[in-house]
Structure 1
Amino acid sequence: MDHDPMNLNKLLIVDCTPKQNNNNNNDNNNKESFLIKDDGLFQINFSCQLTNNEVCDKVERAFNMAGDIITYALTLNTPIIVDVKFIVMEQDELGGAAPTRYISLLDEEDQVERFYPQALVKQIQPQPPTTYTYAESDISAEFNSLVNWHFPDDHGSIGKDQYDILYTILHEFIHGLGFITSWRGLDKPEKELTPYIVTVSGEPAIDPTELPFNFHGFRETIFDKFIITVDSNGMQNRLSSFANELNQFNTSASQFTDFYNQFQNSPQYDAAKKVLAYSTTKNSLIFMPKGSDSITDDGIMLETKINPFQTGSSISHVDSLIYNVGNSDFLMRRQSVAGASLNSLVTKSHNVTGSAIGPKLLNVLSSLGYTLANNSKSSATKQSIVVIDFTLISLITLCIILITTI
């Protein structure tokens, strides 16, 4: 199964006012249980549309384990709230997650407005001016109940045709924290890429063809700020420079078709075509963590081998060949690994951080604005190894054994 773990066409980012959960949403065929872990800094609102309570309990435990892994790596000031549905989806889909809401903030470093995931904005200290309303949840996620999942507390080894649910959940939660690009095509097949189109509400326009159409520029995510381009001659440029060029385009078009025709005939359109070329050429886009200057030592090669471009897969993942199952930063590859447990992948990677969140992924999260926990930072610098035995979590809680190497 070629896993597209972040399908933005299915999980929409919408402008909505917070709503109360409907805890009575039951029907004759499905039994929904709403289970909330409210005793920590990663809270799960869980809806399981299965009649098998035992399976629902195993799924919920896996979600909470993923939250524990994240809170072990990050210092959170405010709880992150995740709305999760375990439902019937298309057979070839594992699941997906995305920020429930983006909030536009001015970057003081370069004076550019970018979209920040709500989960990240809530961690910023001191809090930015509250001219916006938080959605009820920070991350929205769906996972497929039809998949042959292996659970951390299952007896026996993972089967060759099974997928480790904890691996998939953790991967998707990282997308919800902000490992996600704004760049996408305006038409199918993609002829160009642009950041999100900003609507009059200040929200990303996921489907700009919907009326009324009001163009207020293009806007990247905070993840995009740290991406550089590298051409065949080794010349480097910031991806944001292309966004700046695109924002020289202006129009009063009230329909998307008129906007698109004008845009294609504008001088700025060439920048959109160049970004598409970079995004479909191997080793052309690199995430450079804040304060880093060495591509070899610090850069994270992003997924640009897919041609044609795939929204949700291209750019929003690391290169699947470089960060293979033996690499410490395997987690954000776009392809899930059938027949491999998360524990076995961490062991093969010899990850000095001790979990599936590798050292370069920690640098990504830190660059976005999250504060790394002291144990994560010391793990990377002192070469300490943390062995996480997920099979014991179902008995008590997350069991972490620290083995410090000499």
Structure 2
Amino acid sequence: MVDCDWSNQIKQDVSDKLNQENGEPQQMFKVQLNCRSDNTTLCNFINLAFERASKTISTVLKINTQIVVNATIYNFCDGYTPQTCPPDLAARLGQAGPTMIYALEDDDGLERLYPQALVKQFQFPRNPKFNEFDIDAEFNTKFPLWFEESGPIQQFEYDFFYVMIHELMHGLGFFSFWIQAFPDVPALIPAIVPKFSETVNPKEKILNSDLIVKESALDKSMIFLSDGSPVSSVTKYLSDFMIKNPGRSDPFEKFGDKEIKMLTDMYTLANTPKSLGILPRGSKNFVTDAVILETAIEPFIQGSSISHVDLTTYLNTSDFLMMWKAVNGKTIEDLIKDGGNYPGGVIGPKLKSILETIGYSSEENPNPYKPNAFKENAKSSAINLRFSYEIIVIKANYEL
């Protein structure tokens, strides 16, 4: 199984090439592929896999504005020896995330961070200047990848389509911004960002605004599974506290015992099985309707914990795709069959309901929720936070 955390060069615009050859209308997923491999067959197979993913996603979701993916395929350990390649890099199959996120006000009065791919679907009357790419994705050729054109899959191989479409889901918005801001502090906090800033680069040490915390679009629907109450109540308290106690310094220096306990409690829950979930819009009973998030990883792993569904609950079900561990030696068709042959294919019913909840349109949900539109100062809402969500290989199943 695989953990999801996240020569010659062949550059190709997959979607445009296919459209030119087939005379088809513009695909709503455009992929700029940078395949850094001498193996032209591998690069061609990757092209075909992206074409398949584009059609799969466009069948489930009604994409009204083209989503552009910057995909790079290479050996993550290039430049290292087997002894010096960092273990987390050596074990990573793929990683992806939005290139830009935007602060938008939700119907509960809180501003949350929405990925560019989703913001484009809202088609607001006024928008900031978007990045050229909506999603950055990277995939590791260090591992044996299987493709539909390859023949029978071997036990040590990984279905590239599975890895790739999983990562694209993260780029579309399946991620939490509850993070461990400081590795040596057992506490989780929503993303710490300047209250007002045109763009934030994590490498910049000087911020031009007071700090505040903001959740992701997905976090709006996160609940405590113990009683169904919203996790956003904690975020609102922290946000109000930081507004009343403004400044640019480390917020942990200002927090009192009550605030610190909230953050350490969240860390504890993130390491406690079946403690957090996502309640899709329109749900009536949190006990039966909530999608259980992955909180059984101990210790907490950034990019894997919380930002995936619970492995023990969704293994061998129709909603296997967003588990933090993927399965080697099985094709995506095998996994769909193991999950009960769901008619919708790889994007299971619970995942689909989550995508609809955060704002994507579908045939069954043509008018999804939208946050409030950008205000006059829309450009100040753009934030560049470089988080990615990874798939990591377990050594027991593949000898690194």
- Shared fold, TM over 0.5: yes
The C-alpha deviation readout for 1:341-377, integer Å capped at 9, x for no partner, is: 101111121243331101111100110110113599x
1:141 CA drift (Å): 0.3
Q: Is the 8 A contact 2:5 2:301 kept in 1?
A: no
Please list, as runs of the form range in 1=range in 2, the aligned pairs for 1:235-246 lying within 5 A after superposition: 235-246=227-238
Q: Whole-Å Cα distance in 2 between the matches of residues 140 and 203 of structure 1?
A: 21
Shift of 1:283: 1.1
TM-score of the superposed pair, with normalisation by structure 1: 0.79
* Partners of 1:314 and 1:267 in 2: CA distance: 24
TM norm structure 2:
0.80
Corresponding residue for 1:295?
Answer: 286
Match of 2:305 in 1: 314
Q: Name the Cα RMSD after superposition.
A: 2.2
Counterpart residue number, 2:29: 42
Write the mapping of 1:230-379 to structure 2, written as runs, cut at 5 A.
230-231=225-226, 235-250=227-242, 251-256=245-250, 259-263=251-255, 265=256, 267-324=258-315, 326-373=316-363
How far did 1:5 drift?
Answer: 3.9
**Structure 1 position 200, deviation (Å):** 5.3
Distance 1:374 1:255 in 2: 46
Whichever structure has more helix as a proportion of its residues is 2
Q: Which runs of 5+ in 1 are unaligned?
A: 7-28, 377-406
Give 1:202 shift: 4.0
- Is 1:165 the counterpart of 2:155? The answer is no
Q: Give the C-alpha shift of residue 211 in structure 1.
A: 3.4
Q: Structure 2 vs 1, CA of residues 99 and 160 (structure 1 numbering), >3 Å: closer, same or farther? A: same
Instruction: Give the secondary-structure state (helix, strand or coil) at the position aligned to 1:51.
Output: coil
Alignment of 1:203-214 (within 5 A): 207=202, 210-212=205-207, 214=209
Counterpart residue identity of residue 192, structure 1: A
Q: Which residue of 1 aligns with 2:179?
A: 184
SS of residue matched to 2:103:
strand
Q: How many residues align structurally?
A: 343
Change (3 A) 1:372 1:202: farther
Q: For residue 105 of structure 1, report the CA deviation from its aligned partner.
A: 0.8
Percent identity, please: 32
Structure 1 residues 87 and 309, CA gap change in structure 2 (3 angstroms): same
Is 1:121 the counterpart of 2:119? The answer is yes
1:111 to 109, 112, 130: 109
| SS, match of residue 64 in structure 2 | coil
| 2:14–2:47 contact (8 Å) kept in structure 1 | no
Deviations 1:94-115 (A, max 9, x none): 00110111011111x2121111
Spell out, residue by residue over 1:115-174, the C-alpha distance to the aligned partner (whole angstroms, 9 max, x if none). 11111111114x1532x221111111000011100011112x110100000000010001
8 Å Cα contact 2:70/2:137 also seen in 1: yes
Contact 1:102 1:115 in 2 (8 A): yes
Cα distance in 2 for residues equivalent to 1:202 and 1:353 = 45
Aligned equivalent of 1:17: none
Say which is worse superposed, 333-342 or 290-299, in terms of deviation: 290-299
- Cα distance in 1 for residues equivalent to 2:309 and 2:219: 14
Query: How far apart, in 2, do the equivalents of 1:186 and 1:96 lie?
Result: 19
- Counterpart CA distance in 1 for 2:14 and 2:145 is 22
With a CA cutoff of 8 Å and minimum separation of 6, indicate the structure with the bigger relative contact order: 2
1:33-182 mapped onto 2 (5 Å cutoff): 33-38=11-16, 39-89=26-76, 90-107=89-106, 109-125=107-123, 127=124, 129-130=126-127, 132-155=128-151, 157-182=152-177
Q: Deviations over 1:11-62 (max 9, x none)?
A: xxxxxxxxxxxxxxxxxx3323233313301111100001221211111111
Alpha-carbon distance between aligned partners in 1 of 2:327 and 2:313, rounded to the nearest angstrom:
15
Larger displacement relative to structure 2 (201-210 or 160-169): 201-210
Q: Given the superposition, is the C-alpha separation of residues 105 and 212 from structure 1 closer, same or farther in structure 2, using an over 3 Å criterion?
A: closer
1:197-208 alignment, distance < 5 Å: 197-199=192-194, 202=197, 207=202
Assess if the C-alpha contact under 8 Å between 1:102 and 1:118 holds in 2. yes
Separation (CA, whole Å) in 2 of partners of 1:166 and 1:153 = 12
